[in-house]
Amino acid sequence: MTFNKVFYGIWAVLFALFAYWQINDPDPELWVSVYVVAIIFCLLGFKGIFPKIPLTVVVVVCLVGAALYWQGEVGSWVSQEVEQHNLSMKNDFMEESRESFGLLIISLVMLPGLIKAWKK
């Protein structure tokens, strides 16, 4: 099994879990859709298909979205996450920080495929 199959296969499963966990989010239509797009591109990557323009759009949109959602400092968010003993949202800052981090993860996961696409 190649690296692409393992890497994108694992991330497709993880993004499916992320999408499932977004169902009870205040805006599930947006976040489930975002993770479904990530799943689709992971499945394409699993098959060795890396569409240059669509991947570029996904990475750029996710990076811009992450920057727009990002509030405060990472240390503040991490300390809040460590202090609480459950995953419930205590405030909007935590929700938006998690959403920002999710978009950043998607862009980082798509980056190797994007690099491969642009090298062709």
Look at the chain and report how many structural domains it folds into.
1
Tell me: pLDDT of 50 over 80: yes
- CA-nearest of 24, 15, 16, 18 to 89 is 24
Q: Name the residue range of residue 71's domain.
A: 3-119
Burial of 104 (0-12, 13-18, 19+ CB in 10 A): middle
Tell me the pLDDT tens digit for each residue of 61-98. 999 988 887 765 554 655 666 666 555 555 566 677 77
Question: Could you tell me the CA-to-CA distances from 24 to 29, 49, 69, 102 in Å, in that order?
Answer: 10, 32, 19, 16
CB 72 within 8 A of CB 58: no
DSSP letter at 25 equals: S
Task: Give the 3-state DSSP-derived string for 101-119, with helices as H, strands as E and coil as C.
Answer: HHHHHHHHHHHHHHHHHHH
In this structure, the chain runs to a length of 120
Over residues 20-44, mean pLDDT: 93
Percent of the chain with pLDDT over 90: 61
Residue at token pair 């394409």 = 44
